Amino acid sequence: MEASIGWSATESDTNARSSFLRVRNLVKRFGNFTALDDVSLDVLEGEFVCFLGPSGCGKTTLLRAIAGLDPQNEGTIELGGRDVSKLPPSARDFGIVFQSYALFPNLTVADNVGYGLVNQRKSRAEIAARTQELLTLVGLADQQKKYPVQLSGGQQQRVALARAIATSPSLLLLDEPLSALDARVRIRLRDEIKDLQRRLGVTTIMVTHDQEEALAMANRIVVMNHGVIEQINTPNQVYRKPATAFVADFVGSMTFFDATITETKALRVDGLELKCGAHPFAAGTAVRVGFRPEEVQVRNVTANAANRIVTHVTSLDFLGSFCRAKLKPQSVSNITILADFSANLMRDLNVAEGQEMIVALPPESLHIFARP
């Protein structure tokens, strides 16, 4: 499904045939507060989808509604062609992993993993075999007799993941499973989860507020804000072609400024004329313009380059493999341009604070949005 907030009839028919999860017109209220406002989306079988957005945007509420933990007030949910809108969580065939691990402290690792199988009345031999298989799969085969308190945070989350998939659910739900871990463990575990999901082929939805996690792990990203979906698309498309100014600002970094459209492929900001790509706005329309720091051109800026701007470097922040620079244009007082300079560029051009720097903003790199 391409990035959109709604569907045409053709898109809807296609999704109805191919989608494993179908959510339509979901509304969830808590008193007078609307947490989900007419949300619709499709998730394909075997897909890894991330719900991404800031705190309070509705992503966890949507996950819990899908699970039946916080039933919606309006709308429908279908799993594998079956309407589960009014079914209890136990009838929805999903496994879930929470941020807090939620392991039973009085049970061993093996007993935690096998807990759901006991409830399914599997034989002791079946439970032991399945538990061993899963603990081997998550790299904890030698830890099965330990208790959760004896494990690290990353190991506990692996146990929680093994428990969630023990019953072979058709849907795996991950509610910010990595946010309680330190950065190094988080990166390692996100790669393990992504690899495990691919090997199992289980349809997976993960809630996260971390854009890097979503970009690295998901087949598609659902960007949410104030209870609505702003954009649904692949990580590359969400980053390269944000549908709204919110998406552009939330996913990655971006310089924004207000401008006015002057003609089909041109705009003006404080007397500075800039060329741009195609857009749907009429001449005289006030717009919001943004561009990514890595899209600022520094090398080989000729005298007749499009959107050539004379700037001064006002600050440099060292960020390891690159530096984030703030550039002040000579001709525009109310804009500060963010630009990312590689270590090679910093060395080759001997970039320093206070120096003059001529840059260019390629017309195709300018993202134009309606001004709020």
- Is the pLDDT at 300 greater than 60? The verdict is yes
pLDDT, tens digit (0-9, with 9 covering 90-100), for 73-113: 999 999 999 999 999 999 999 999 998 888 999 999 999 99
Residue type at 209?
H
Say yes or no to pLDDT of 117 above 70.
yes
**pLDDT reported for residue 347:** 93
Among 81-95, 201-215, 323-337, which is the least confidently predicted range? 323-337
- CA dist., res. 64 & res. 345, Å (int): 47
Tokens read off for 88: 């209890």
Q: What single-letter amino acid sits at 210?
A: D
Report the mean per-residue pLDDT for the chain.
Answer: 92
Total Cβ atoms within 10 A of residue 343: 12
- Which of the residue ranges 75-84, 238-247, 324-333 would you say has the lowest mean pLDDT? 324-333
Tokens (6 digits) for 357:
């720097």
Is the pLDDT assigned to residue 7 strictly greater than 50? no
pLDDT greater than 60 at residue 249: yes
Say yes or no to pLDDT of 6 above 70. no
Residue 85 near residue 24, CB atoms below 8 Å: no
pLDDT for 81 equals: 93
Strands (E), the chain: 19-30, 33-44, 48-52, 74-79, 82-83, 94-97, 171-175, 203-208, 220-225, 228-233, 255-263, 266-269, 272-275, 286-291, 308-318, 322-329, 337-342, 356-360, 367-370
With vertex at residue 360, the alpha carbon angle to CA 359 and CA 363, rounded to the nearest 5 degrees, is 165
**Per-residue pLDDT tens digits for 169-186:** 999 999 999 988 888 889
Residue whose entry in the numeric block shows the structure tokens 């900001």: 269
Angle between helices 183-200 and 153-165 (to 10 degrees): 20
77-114 burial code (b ≥16 CB/10 A, e <16):
bbbeeeebbeeeeeebbbbbbbbebebeeeebbbbbbb
> Of 38, 32, 40, 31, nearest to 8 (Cα)?
40
Instruction: Give the phi and the psi of residue 371 in degrees, each rounded to 5.
Output: -80, 130
Average pLDDT for 184-193 = 91
Query: In whole angstroms, what is the distance from residue 337 CA to residue 257 CA?
Result: 9
Does the structure show a pLDDT above 50 at 13? no
Would the pLDDT of 5 be above 60?
Answer: no
Q: What is the pLDDT of residue 203?
A: 96
Instruction: Quote the pLDDT of residue 16.
Output: 44
Residue 120: what pLDDT?
87
* pLDDT at position 1 over 90: no
User: Rounded distance, CA 177 to CA 192, Å?
Assistant: 12
Write out pLDDT tens, residues 123-151.
999 999 999 999 999 999 999 999 999 99
Question: How many other CB atoms are found less than 10 A from the CB of residue 317?
Answer: 11
Residue 12: pLDDT band by 50, 70, 90 thresholds? very low
Domains (range + CATH), the chain? 9-249 (3.40.50.300), 253-370 (2.40.50.100)
pLDDT at 18 over 50: yes
What Å distances lie between residue 270 and 19, 257, 259, 261, 359, CA to CA? 48, 10, 8, 12, 18
Q: Above 90 in pLDDT, residue 69?
A: yes
